[in-house]
Structure 1
Amino acid sequence: MGVQYPPPRGCPVPSVLRPVCNYPVGVQYRPAIAMSPDAEVCDHWPFTGSAGVADRFPVTDLQSTDERLPARDPKVQYEHIIWDWNGTLLDDLDVCVDVMNGLLTDRRLARIDVDRHREVFDFPVETYYRALGFDFSEESFGTVASDYCTRFDHRVADCRLHDDVEAVLGKIAAANARQSILSSCEQGSLIEAVRSFGLTGHFGAIVGQADQHAKGKVAAGADLLARAAAPRQRTLLVGDTLHDYAVAKALGIDCILVSLGHHSTSRLTTECESVVESLADVIAHVGA
């Protein structure tokens, strides 16, 4: 059976396990949850999930189908490229600042500009909200985060992809290196956003989080690597924040940061030596 998206009618999919299509590497799984008796068996959906999925879909139940991979171009330095989404592939900086200013105005807090955002934006994202003056003794962080995410989801169509996204993803795919997304976004919103920009087919895994709190993604990244056949020394994470760099260090993989998103070049270079100005520059590092 080929991969289908959306899934066949009547085939329920857990919210943290969504189909990804048109990718040469799949993962077969034996569902650990009950499916309706009339549900069509969907046995070739590549893995997409978030931290904690391993509890319900053990590694022994996820069988890599690497034998179906075409030979990787030997010039390519990395076998597996893990992309951050917001700020790295998706140019959402202005929309994020605009949405945040809506929340700040509603609470009679000082508005911010892009420079201020890039100066204080951080993970866990609750730290960022506190830096902007939110008082979580008056309303919970979960309430504020939900408000932000709802507004942002309604504005995703106002965002655009960064320059060269499709060309870069295509070159890496042509070299037969696998690609994944690792994001701090809530899983359902992430899947829908990637789909809306027509990029789903580039990725063998799209990994988000179980909630909207954006606490970080080390656990989800470790879960992803546990299922990837590529060795860590041949895995690269591409992101736009120092959190991405910290995640890469924690996972023991290489990292390149692009100065297009939520942290400025001056902030990125305080910790990371590999900082580039465009996605096209990533190709030189990958060798595709």
Structure 2
Amino acid sequence: MPPTAHHPAAPPRLDLTDTLVLFDWNGTLVADTDRALRATNAVLTHRGLPGLTAEDFPAKWKLPLAAFLRDLGAADPEAAEQYWNRALAAEPAPLRRGTARMLDTLRACGARLGVVSAAGAAAVADDIRNTGLDDRFDVVLAGVAAKTSALLSQRPTRPRAYYVGDTEYDIHCARAAGYLAIAVTGGYRPAHALAAVRPDAVVDHLDQLPGVVTALHAKTPAPLGGTPA
């Protein structure tokens, strides 16, 4: 895995009109690990199962969500997933520091932006509205059962494509769909777990992301594939 990136924000004159940047939502753009833990424990308590501690959660978290809940003992993982999403949607979550500024920088440079999330569509839509990001995204795909398929559906829209997430699953899906994968630390999964799957870049803070995209552009001058919209 490359060393943690510490690049400055991209200058407004950078041309990213050939670029698609899609994001995971929970743990990536919103700081909601505590909320996700509470939603998980609500599912487990409702089923008479032991809850997780704050230390347990990042070690055990994985996607798909139904598989995560099944591994915790839920005999009805699909119903448990719906319960989890309702619990998640019941409380707001703050943006990670620098989220809005980072999105504005990428948009000012011409990038196409979007969200691809496994979380329930209602929960993500509420979060986007509550955080004031309604006008930042060109596409929002939430409640997706398979991220690779969702990412592939957007891949033809720009020659260069990046997916930003906080789990190994995000990295694997990005690569399977022909995206460069950028990992964000401080989300649902620990940094050492992200390091094990060797993303193309890693950031600790979202305001580093425009500079990272700039650096990856410089390293990969040829388009990654796809057809501009």
Q: Please indicate the TM-score interval, normalised by the length of the shorter structure.
A: 0.7 to 0.9
Equivalent of 2:96, from 145, 156, 162?
Answer: 162
Once the two structures are TM-superposed, the CA of residue 115 in structure 1 deviates from its matched residue by: 2.7
Distance 2:35 2:84 in 1: 11
| 1:74-113 mapped onto 2 (5 Å cutoff) | 74=14, 76=16, 79-113=19-53
- Residue matched to 1:277: 204
Aligned AA (2:77) = F
Report % sequence identity. Answer: 24
Once the two structures are TM-superposed, the CA of residue 205 in structure 1 deviates from its matched residue by: 0.7
Number of corresponding residues = 203
- Residue matched to 2:190: 264
Provide TM-score, normalisation by structure 1: 0.65
CA contact (8 A) 2:17 2:110 kept: no
**2:166 corresponds to 1:240:** yes
Distance 2:118 2:138 in 1: 18
Once the two structures are TM-superposed, the CA of residue 192 in structure 1 deviates from its matched residue by: 2.9
Provide TM-score, normalisation by structure 2: 0.81
Once the two structures are TM-superposed, the CA of residue 287 in structure 1 deviates from its matched residue by: 2.6
CA contact (8 A) 1:78 1:236 kept: no
Aligned AA (2:64) = P
Once the two structures are TM-superposed, the CA of residue 215 in structure 1 deviates from its matched residue by: 3.4
Aligned AA (2:100) = E
Larger Rg: 1
Equivalent of 1:202, from 136, 148, 157?
Answer: 136
Distance 1:151 1:84 in 2: 19
CA contact (8 A) 2:27 2:188 kept: yes
- Residue matched to 1:142: 78
| 1:35-184 mapped onto 2 (5 Å cutoff) | 73-74=13-14, 76=16, 79-134=19-74, 136=75, 140-155=76-91, 157=92, 159-184=93-118
CA contact (8 A) 1:75 1:287 kept: no
Q: 5+ unaligned residues in a row in structure 2: which ranges?
A: 1-11, 216-229
Aligned-residue Cα RMSD (Å) equals 2.1
* Residue 115 to residue 244, structure 1, CA distance change in 2 (3 Å): same
| 1:223-234 mapped onto 2 (5 Å cutoff) | 223-226=153-156, 228=157, 230-231=158-159, 234=160
List structure 1 segments (4+ residues) > 4 angstroms apart after TM superposition. 72-78
Distance 2:162 2:48 in 1: 42
CA contact (8 A) 1:95 1:152 kept: yes
Distance 1:204 1:220 in 2: 14
Distance 1:265 1:177 in 2: 27
Distance 1:150 1:83 in 2: 22
CA contact (8 A) 1:258 1:278 kept: yes
Deviation string 1:134-173 (CA, Å, 9 cap, x unpaired) is 2x1xxx2222222221111111x2x100000111111111
- Residue matched to 2:7: none
Equivalent of 2:123, from 159, 182, 189?
Answer: 189
Deviation string 1:103-158 (CA, Å, 9 cap, x unpaired) is 22233322212331111211222221122222x1xxx2222222221111111x2x
Q: 5+ unaligned residues in a row in structure 1: which ranges?
A: 1-71
**2:167 corresponds to 1:220:** no
CA contact (8 A) 1:78 1:286 kept: no
Distance 1:102 1:283 in 2: 37
Aligned AA (2:140) = I
CA contact (8 A) 1:237 1:256 kept: yes
| 1:5-20 mapped onto 2 (5 Å cutoff) | none
